Amino acid sequence: MKKPFALSLIAAALMVAGSVQAKEVTDADISNDAKTTGDVVHFGLGQQGQRYSTLDKINTKTVKNLVPVWSFSFGGEKQRGQESQPLVFDGKMYVTASYSRIFALDAKTGKKLWKYEHRLPEGIMPCCDVINRGAALYDNLVIFATLDAQLVALNKDTGKVVWKEKIDDYAAGYSASAAPLIVKGMVVTGVSGGEFGVEGRLEARDAKTGKLIWIRPTVEGHMGYKWVNGEKTDNGISGTLNATWTGDLWKTGGAATWNGATYDPETNLIFVGTGNPSPWNSHLRPGDNLFSSATVAINPDTGKIVWHYQTTPHDGWDFDGVNEFVSFDYKDPKTGKIIKAGGKADRNGFFFVIDRTNGKLINAFPFVKDITWAKGIDLNTGRPIYNDDNRPGNPAAGEDGKKGKTVFAAPSFLGGKNQMQMAYNPKTGLFYVPANEWGMDIWNEPVSYKRGAAYLGAGFTIKALHDDYIGALRAVDPVAGKIVWENKNFAPLWGGVLTTAGNLSFYGTPEGYLKALDAKTGKEVWSFQTGSGVVAPPITWEEGGEQYVAVVSGWGGAVPLWGGDVARRVNFLEQGGSVWVFKLHNGK
């Protein structure tokens, strides 16, 4: 019996519809993210984190015609700090928001396609606001970390949960907020919680299933592991027990990997910055305290540490070392030889240029103007030349044993640069660093570890150093070792940078402006008021022959929570929560 003609048509239509599958994000897409212009599939506009785009339709001549296309509000009362970098793929934008939320939007219109709100327990303990810095894309998944230390993978087209894995116990002070790194089909994440005495580490999971592949601790003495065919195997300890940590303090040693990681395919190395050793009171933990306040290079195939470079050994100021390590080609001014290098603008105020193949120091110089804790970096030994009088005093040496000598140190513990991401432009050869000039009164106090409680052993008050500015976007020459130009800002800078082949550098200010500067001169050529402070990094992509720029707006982060006198100075700033998208008026 023949089927009715109408039913045959319906069946054929269903077969065609069923054969149209959503695009998936591949390893090749991720590896080529810095070279392709039609999408942004990875944090940093590529695994190396240069935040550079080859697009040039928006340039110093045309940028004056840049206008808003759409804006989307994250809604509700959950505004707070918004530090997310959006991702764009197959006509959709994926953007995280405060309180562990994620939205999928139509990239051309801003129409909401779906949202996921992670259910957070009341006992979460994020140190530095309820922020999230972004998601990762892989296969048909969008993956992000949550404030209660979980990793969630959603179907990128429907928003439905595919898998969910616990990183660690939030009740012990663990949390997570960094955008994951994707390497060779693995999703690589770190942990937050250095102020609670957590065990810092990096871990790799199968991106499709969430199953663990390896764990690499970043505190010397803790054991690393690898999973082979589902079985947990010994992968060697993270250094020699008690070599640089005396006693038992390494067990709660901090060194949290809270700002994410980068990857360089040329050397096949993951680079992750590590946070402060715990507690802050350095007199309780003599020695270098490996691998805290450092950059650690890890082989993604084995999870083993290949090299490390400590920017602040025996950190006593909470300078951390989590600032991103950005791969670039360094031309030796003496020999003309190209060296595979990496740049890092550290919280301690120094800019480091390091051979990314072996961790050897190439150059180090200040990128802020006031540094009191060290006289410089010894280029032969790679170690700081400490100013011993500027280390906060030992409480045990005082008469009452309750408070050590107070010192005024610069930069403050919020750093010459903090979480806000710098950019590198291979056309100009310059790094664009969002820097801050501030200092702090800091003193040490007795402290003992209690699970889930703050584990500082220090007190502090942050102070501005200048009446007219705190923040300054600075162009840094890594070869000459100097600041080429700067553009000052009254409030601290807390958002990242995007630089392009159109000779532009985009960045936001807490006062609410998204700005574009001439990348060669630092002259401001465009700005737009977003309605709230910008503490997130911009992105750019091309669709339908038009170049787009996007940024998330919403004041918050660590400054209003920890900023002391500085927080009071900028308490007029308003919170928010939205994403803005721009393009050239009439396409030119």
Report, as residue numbers or ranges, the catalytic residues. 318
Distances (CA, A) of 475 to 364, 420, 517: 15, 15, 11
**For residue 193, which of 213, 181, 175, 211 has the smallest C-alpha distance?**
175
**For residue 83, which of 515, 541, 554 has the smallest C-alpha distance?**
554
Let me know: does 385 contact 312? Beta carbons within 8 Å.
no
Q: Distance between CA atoms of 144 and 136, rounded to whole angstroms?
A: 6
User: With b meaning 16 or more CB within 10 Å and e meaning fewer, what string describes 118-148?
Assistant: bebeeebbbbbbbbbbbbbbbbbbbbbbbbb
Let me know: does 276 contact 291? Beta carbons within 8 Å.
no
Let me know: does 489 contact 435? Beta carbons within 8 Å.
no
Residues 6+ apart with CB under 8 A from 380: none
Determine how β-strand 497-500 pairs with β-strand 52-53: parallel
Rounded (10°) CA dihedral 63, 583, 475, 531: 100
DSSP-based three-state secondary structure for 9: helix
My answer on whether omega of the bond before 291 falls inside 30° of 0, hence cis, is yes
Q: Distance between CA atoms of 89 and 70, rounded to whole angstroms?
A: 18
Tokens standing for residue 477? 């020459």
Q: Distance between CA atoms of 25 and 226, rounded to whole angstroms?
A: 26
My answer on whether omega of the bond before 217 falls inside 30° of 0, hence cis, is no
Distances (CA, A) of 373 to 395, 409, 444: 19, 6, 15
